[in-house]
Amino acid sequence: MFDRLEDLIMRYEDIMQELSEPGISNDQARFKRLMKEQSDITPIVEAYKAYKKNKQDIDDSLSMLENEKDEEMRELLKDELSSARKNVGELEEKLKILLLPKDPNDDKNVIVEIRAGAGGDEAALFAAEIYRMYVHYAESRHWKIETLDFDEIGIGGMKSVTFMITGQGAYSIMKYESGVHRVQRVPETESGGRIHTSTISVAVMPEAEDVDVEIDEKDIRIDVMRASGNGGQCVNTTDSAVRLTHYPTGIVIYSQTEKSQLQNKEKAFALLRTKLYDLKQQEAHDAEAELRKSQIGTGDRSEKIRTYNFPQGRVTDHRINLTLYKLDKVMNGDIQEIIDACIAADQAAKLAKLNESA
């Protein structure tokens, strides 16, 4: 580990030297690549420098204690020694986490797909509420939200909704939301006051770029049609909606949110690329089934991950046995505490697996 850390310090110094070269900004591709690499390794370099400083403090305190006769000064040195040892232990654990293999998709934007499951209209209403929860959360992080497709029902619910979140590290955070979300509450239409259980599924997919997925035009059928449902002035008047059918997988993409057929076509292809990339990722994960079981947030999407219990005002994440009694805040987008706990549990699981194989 420490050889790798020394190599990273040398690389960091090389990057800083390259960034200080005159005219570096003229080569934007190289400049962006260096800035990205610098951003990635800076937290590791800073933690390692702090680790080395505290190791030196331990050596200095031990050396001074050997020759110090004054009791008051000795107590002060012992306190400094104890503090430095504590810092070294904490920094060593932090460095292990920082050096864990990084998911190559972590820096990507995400496409989120929410679908109503068991529960009929109540599930559709809950799907719309979870969509709003994510919109509020994204806004709190100053991320951009763009709706790609939706299927509404008349009472304010959504059978399905697909949207893109654009923001630094969006996938590294949102990936923990994939799975089945369950709601327990008394529906407004329930006259007997009985608690109903409904479910929705959430799929979080890293946005795919052209280089990630190659699509053969012969494998695609493109249909254009008039958009339907509530919308702008072009709804039901122009052939602006686009439907893509991918023959090899059977995936069908429908896009009608834009007035322009060209824009809808671009959105449809972006979503198709992402779904094909996600399919490839899922196949790779299935091939490493044991690894998937050991990690939080990368399991089967049919897995029930969270329950929202309205009568008790609680949210429970079943993967990490976390229960919070602040349902109102969570439904308003305050989900950071849950995500942080998932990240911590995921890192702990990966560290344990790493230590087993060491």
How far is Cα 315 from Cα 187, in angstroms, rounded to an integer?
A: 18
Average pLDDT score, the chain: 85
Q: pLDDT at residue 234 above 50?
A: no
On whether residue 104 sits in a domain, the answer given is: no
> What confidence tier does 211 reach under pLDDT thresholds 50, 70, 90?
low
Average pLDDT over residues 88-101: 87
Question: What pLDDT is attached to residue 191?
Answer: 64
Q: End of a domain among 265, 283, 301?
A: 283
Q: Residues 115, 261: one domain?
A: no
On whether residue 103 sits in a domain, the answer given is: no
Q: Residues 27, 138: one domain?
A: no
List residues bridging with 149 in a β-sheet.
Answer: 162
Question: What pLDDT is attached to residue 301?
Answer: 55
Residue scoring higher pLDDT (229 or 238): 238
Q: End of a domain among 232, 266, 283?
A: 283
pTM of the complete model: 0.74
CATH assignment at residue 301: 3.30.70.1660
- Number of domains within the chain: 3
Q: pLDDT at residue 94 above 90?
A: no
Question: What pLDDT is attached to residue 311?
Answer: 93
How far is Cα 253 from Cα 243, in angstroms, rounded to an integer?
A: 6
Q: pLDDT at residue 325 above 90?
A: yes
> What confidence tier does 50 reach under pLDDT thresholds 50, 70, 90?
very high
**Number of other CB atoms surrounding residue 62 within 10 Å:** 12
On whether residue 31 sits in a domain, the answer given is: yes
CATH assignment at residue 247: 3.30.160.20
Cα separations in angstroms, 56 against 15, 78, 80, 82, 137: 26, 15, 12, 13, 43
Cβ proximity of 339 and 214 under 8 Å: no
Q: Residues 265, 312: one domain?
A: no
pLDDT tens string 118-154 = 888 899 999 999 999 999 999 999 999 998 888 888 8
> What confidence tier does 289 reach under pLDDT thresholds 50, 70, 90?
low
Q: Residues 142, 74: one domain?
A: no
pLDDT tens string 16-29 = 998 888 888 888 88
Q: Residues 270, 302: one domain?
A: no
Question: What pLDDT is attached to residue 286?
Answer: 64
